[in-house]
């Protein structure tokens, strides 16, 4: 029983670490898309791109340290 619990905990920890990495990659993608949109707007002669407004759905994502 103890062995299964330990293996499950290790699997959960690995999946959590993978999720944190995916979140980091998505954050990088969003930043890159924002920069591309700003360049496209500047090239099109739009002085300040309008940022979209997002409705909050009560979900909060926080970074947590993984050791």
**What is the domain partition of the chain in residue ranges?**
1-46
First-to-last alpha carbon distance for the chain, in angstroms, is 25
Cα atoms in the 13 Å half-sphere on the side-chain side of 65? 1
Q: What percent of the chain has pLDDT over 70?
A: 76
CA atoms of 63 and 67, how far apart (whole Å): 13
| Residue with more model confidence, 64 or 31 | 31
Report the pLDDT averaged over residues 5-25. 91
| Residue with more model confidence, 52 or 61 | 52
SS3 24: helix
């Amino acid at each position: 029983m103890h062995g299964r619990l330990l293996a499950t905990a290790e699997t959960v920890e690995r999946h959590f670490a993978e999720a944190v990495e995916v979140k980091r990659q998505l954050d990088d993608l969003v930043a890159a898309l924002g920069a591309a949109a700003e360049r496209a707007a500047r090239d099109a002669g739009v002085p300040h791109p309008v940022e979209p407004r997002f409705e909050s759905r009560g979900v909060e994502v926080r970074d947590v340290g993984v050791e």
